Structure 1
């Protein structure tokens, strides 16, 4: 469990019984010293009660019912992306701190509204990119500072998975499905760890599946003011890949399990310099515990743990930009127009 021990307890509720909540998040919340897990909500009362009983909390029928509770200080929202804006906004206006699964919302304008509301109400709003809290990325930054790469020239990142269950929300456009919002946002966010300034989207391609109307694969090319580039690939129709690499004037560094490393894994970083190849094994870490601990500390008043609104805004702007410039292939003309329209909407 986290080393930090909050001085008081954050009373939390969970809006939705998604698979990620049950497998990854609820076990950590139930065991966290700084959290009192109060309730979990579902539109299905029986489902809510079953999940609540499994984690020692109350099962509530209806998301709005949970938000009305005075004994809930903060909520975690693992709903499909198309529902994030509505329920995060309702949670904030109900006076709750909010942790939302990535992406924070489907579009830039909604992200602006959510962050503005959180600031106005003095509440913590966080986007749950758990990989950012894994120590392997700090180790990579330390290696860069030790000049193992020289001048950084290229970032490349890939996150793709084999086809998912046909019933998954990821194949439903009205719920915010699609590869860009589900897996593409990971390498897009990772690129900003190492190219922190303004990034322009030079080009992109999104392939739409006509049966579902969502993008199932894509690539993007980005560039910063210094001419450094980021090359990103993602999708739902690939062999599994979760990696990024940094290519510099003196060497190349690769992270093999960048986005969803198991907590028992000792990550390996590969460094290639001329004819010398070095592999470094890093300590195990639990990014789920770390991410939730950071949110709890921020909600309990630790300013140093608070997420940066600027990073969330930049991420949302880049997602919109990828859609806006992308060549959309496959699907019907109407499906392509809908996807392009999401990127064009900035007001």
Structure 2
């Protein structure tokens, strides 16, 4: 029995798969993803329900941090912003808060940021707060234990943004895309127009950043996913707007294309339209040498599906029930 853990908002699940072959070990050719099952580990974790959070694994421990909880308020986008850090030593079953949001000496509360691990450290990168006029960040912070944090830079050189994506590739941190300013669907008309990015940057230390491509061939976007597979960074999906009108007959401003790059500067289109519906806020992971994608935001309803691909070009739907969801209202998005 093989275990893969996934954290989704206030729910924590483990994905279980029964896999066997003559040698007793799993190989990609022996995996039948349709046999994978979801098991709920905790239906009410001790941290507040939230979106735009991030979870990383470091040293066998899960660290959950940041995010926002929308408030019932006439103020558009009003939210409780978090800068707390929670740890789990049992694959997400139980959680302990190790850092309060208002603790001094670490990053300000934020959501839709990125967090990665490299070596013995975790890194918090970019993001935004929420208000009548949100602040967007391009700072970088690091910690080895989730409690003691060091600011590596207050200004990484790239435009402050949220909804960006980051991965560690060949021992360097790469960031991709994102957006600045809030969507009119959230804060209403009258604010500055939302700006989307398709630039790519990298850093070996989180302090000094190098721009690799100011205008990548993929459309500017936020809410994409990037995974590392077979010596490539693979970018999947995203959005350049939240809503469309009139629903349900309009085409949402979402993507389901797949691109890949070996260096962040040069990109190859893998497919202009993957089998899954266009979406942002989804999650993808490389599991048993396959890309597995699930969740996300959709119009007129959220997608209830799980898709698998060995190469990013050909896709197979293996489930219509991520984390045992029975309808689109139970599908999660903006979790990482």
TM-score (norm 1): 0.29
Structure 1 or 2: more helix by fraction: 1
Structure 1 or 2: more strand by fraction: 2
Pick 1 or 2: higher relative contact order, CA cutoff 8 A, min separation 6. 1
